[in-house]
Amino acid sequence: MAWNVWLVDTTTGANRVKVFPQSNSWKRVINAGGSGQTVFNIRDLLTAQVVNWNSTRPLQKTIVVDWDKTVVYAGIIWGRTYDRRSGTLTVTHADPWKLMGKRHVLASNGDGFQKQVLTWPGLSLATLAKRVMQRCFDPASDRYKLPFTYAADVTGPHTRTYKGYEATTAADAMHELMTTDGGPDIDIRPYWTLDHELRYDFRAGNLNTRTNELYVTGPGGGIFDLDFEDSADDLANIAFALGQGSEKDVKARVMFGGDTSYPVVESVLNLSGEASLAKLDAALYEHVTVYGELATQMTFDIDADSTETGVGVATLMIGGKADLYYQGDIWVAPGRHGDRVIEFSGDLSNKIKVSTQPMRLDA
């Protein structure tokens, strides 16, 4: 088993070509964008045959990384630097989240867009997130397309309206959906089709569809170099929301939450276009639920190869459950700790860095 790195066309995921980088790094993150960097020695004859000006054009080409045919990362090329002295080409890339910040949720992308309104009624928050992605990457024009696949719509009590003159970016629309009460977690999972073309599976909602069991202590546990971190930097046990309006007439709400044993730490949510007090409350509830406690995170290494432990890079799933078993540790209580995978990253070595956080009670 080994790493493979490929170049494909960004808009279709087709025309796969294998490349042989000198170095390569990548990262996948829940609810946010991952990125990476790939360096080629273009004085190498094998590399020079496939890595050239056309095959690495920014935006037109995408870097794909797989472990023994399982795709773990795909990043659209955004920049490249040729160093003539060393004969290297350094390519920077990022997954589709970055492009979401440069696309907008509009009823029309032509003249008069500012006068049009886009409304999606009676849907779940996860389906609304899907609709945002479809407007972002699947409108009529092929220049907008990326090769996504989506789950079926799910009805629900939620409605969203996007006004053309506000020109809301897809990234901002997605952030609003994720941070409201009951908002979905998001993962963009790349994979190969049977025809060896790249696709992205848009996953929204509860992402806990796979469990990996890892033993932190004891021989053959599968975990190396573990760090256990608690941080109060983002803690907020009183939150204020400011919505539509100005000065003393602004729509405003306040909410208390989290562990009352901590000193007060306040936070302000600026939701300037929001006129609904119910939506302000929903955003506040989600905020104090997420940030009302200390942020606890574990970061550790595992082998990319799953032969010894049954857990490797091909079995990891963003948002998936990681049952971590401790015994005899001087810091962490013994027994099973139910975490979820929030990030993992790698290079061309056999080590994968994984970050997990405790599962939310409502997850």
Query: Could you tell me the CATH number of the domain that includes residue 160?
Result: 3.55.50
Q: What pLDDT, in 10s, does the model give residues 56-97?
A: 999 999 999 999 999 999 999 999 999 999 999 999 999 999
CA distance 325 to 340: 14
Q: Is the pLDDT of residue 220 over 70?
A: no
Contacts of 51 (CB under 8 A, 6+ apart): 7, 19, 40, 42, 89
Q: What pLDDT, in 10s, does the model give residues 156-211?
A: 999 999 999 999 999 999 999 998 889 999 999 999 999 999 999 999 998 987 77
- Domain assignment of residue 133, yes or no: yes
Which amino acid, residue 248? K
Which amino acid, residue 83? D
- Exposed, middle or buried, 182 (CB in 10 Å: 0-12/13-18/19+)? middle
- Domain assignment of residue 119, yes or no: yes
10 in the same domain as 125: no
CA distance 177 to 105: 13
226 in the same domain as 245: no
pLDDT band at 338 (very low <50, low <70, confident <90, very high): confident
249 in the same domain as 144: no
CA distance 341 to 298: 10
Q: What pLDDT, in 10s, does the model give residues 18-58?
A: 999 999 999 999 999 999 999 999 999 999 999 999 999 99
Percent of the chain residues topping a pLDDT of 90: 62
- Domain assignment of residue 222, yes or no: yes
Q: Is the pLDDT of residue 218 over 70?
A: no
Q: What is the CA radius of gyration of the chain?
A: 22
155 in the same domain as 21: no
Q: φ and ψ at 239, to 5 degrees?
A: -130, 140
CA distance 150 to 127: 9
331 in the same domain as 227: yes
Q: What pLDDT, in 10s, does the model give residues 113-125?
A: 899 999 999 999 9
109 in the same domain as 70: no
172 in the same domain as 117: yes
- Domain assignment of residue 329, yes or no: yes
Q: Can you give the pTM of this predicted structure?
A: 0.89
Q: What SS3 state is found at 100? A: helix
178 in the same domain as 250: no
- Domain assignment of residue 49, yes or no: yes
Q: What pLDDT, in 10s, does the model give residues 225-266?
A: 889 899 999 889 899 999 988 888 899 999 998 778 889 999
354 in the same domain as 215: yes
Q: Is the pLDDT of residue 129 over 90?
A: yes
Contacts of 306 (CB under 8 A, 6+ apart): 312, 313, 314, 315
Token digits for 228?
């256990």
Domain that holds residue 8: 3-95
* Residue 307 CB coordination number (10 Å): 8
111 in the same domain as 197: yes
- Domain assignment of residue 319, yes or no: yes
